Amino acid sequence: MASLSLIIPTKNRPADIGRCLQSVFAHSPQIAEVVVVDQSSAPYELPADPRITHLYRPDLSGLTAARNAGVDAAKGDLILFIDDDCLFRSDVVTAVTTAFEANPDVVGVQTVIVDKGFTPTPLSARLFEHGFFDSYTFGPPNDLRRMAGGGFAFPKTLFAHERFDEELKGYCYGEDYDFSLRARRWGRLIQVEAAVVEHAPSPTNRFDRKRAFQTRWNNFNYMYRKLRAQQSPADRFWYLWWALGETLQWLRFGYGLPRGG
């Protein structure tokens, strides 16, 4: 059976990482390696467990850099990522490993994410986010369009071809969407119902609305250019429609016109 390494990027959330690790070892005690990529202002005091590799890297530029650092340190054949405010609610390791072994054409496995902070897709997204800018549609479970970074896994060999984009800094809004689109060049993305992860949103390190708007504007403009979505006439139209929707949102909350990007 293939070996699996779990990577957990984290920053200034010691209580969350403690709960996260406890859930991992409770539901998947056979796991051989957990890499905690710690970008906190002071290093965590983690359990003295040989399965835990603690990378203290406050120098990293954000989530994408932390994911890549974790990949470089990991020894497993498969790489599973979860967020530090996520919890295993099933034997995720067995479910993910079994899914890869049963589907040799698959390059990405999505866990089922039960989100305690779930809010429906905003009306503005349903109106204005289409084509390239539709980052909410996942698609059928046996051929996903995108995956969510709160719980997804890839073969380590994929990272010889694709890396998380370190041009995205800090919170790195949209980094999982960007990586999903690139990973699909190499095979299918699927969801595995037996792998259940709960997202219990942490109140720490959350963006205010204005910063979230600015990050989304910057990152989606960047990804649109980088992935050459403008080569599609339909996506050129959807860009204008998306930009209109973003502008209306900025004006609605008194932020003026979108800047940067």
* Per-residue pLDDT of the chain in tens (261 residues, 90 and over written 9): 799 999 999 999 999 999 999 999 999 999 999 999 999 999 999 999 999 999 999 999 999 999 999 999 999 999 999 999 999 999 999 999 999 999 999 999 999 999 877 677 788 889 999 999 999 999 999 999 999 999 999 999 999 999 999 999 988 999 999 999 999 999 999 999 999 999 998 888 777 889 999 999 999 999 999 999 999 999 999 999 999 999 999 999 999 999 988
- Looking at the structure, do residues 194 and 214 belong to the same domain, yes or no? no
Q: Could you give the number of structural domains in the chain?
A: 2
- Looking at the structure, do residues 39 and 92 belong to the same domain, yes or no? yes
Domain around 238: 209-252
- Looking at the structure, do residues 173 and 214 belong to the same domain, yes or no? no
- Looking at the structure, do residues 236 and 136 belong to the same domain, yes or no? no
- Looking at the structure, do residues 156 and 213 belong to the same domain, yes or no? no
Distance CA 87, CA 205 (A): 18
The pLDDT score that the predictor gives to residue 120 is 75
Distance CA 257, CA 235 (A): 22
- Looking at the structure, do residues 183 and 216 belong to the same domain, yes or no? no
Residue 257 lies in a domain: no
Helix, strand or coil, per DSSP, at residue 108: strand
The pLDDT score that the predictor gives to residue 167 is 95
- Looking at the structure, do residues 193 and 214 belong to the same domain, yes or no? no
- Looking at the structure, do residues 134 and 218 belong to the same domain, yes or no? no
The pLDDT score that the predictor gives to residue 205 is 75
Alpha helices in 28-102 (DSSP H): 63-73, 92-102
Residue 259 lies in a domain: no
Distance CA 10, CA 66 (A): 8
The pLDDT score that the predictor gives to residue 35 is 98
Q: Which amino acid is at 161?
A: H
The bridge status of strand 188-199 relative to strand 86-88 is antiparallel
The pLDDT score that the predictor gives to residue 124 is 85
- Looking at the structure, do residues 218 and 127 belong to the same domain, yes or no? no
- Looking at the structure, do residues 68 and 16 belong to the same domain, yes or no? yes
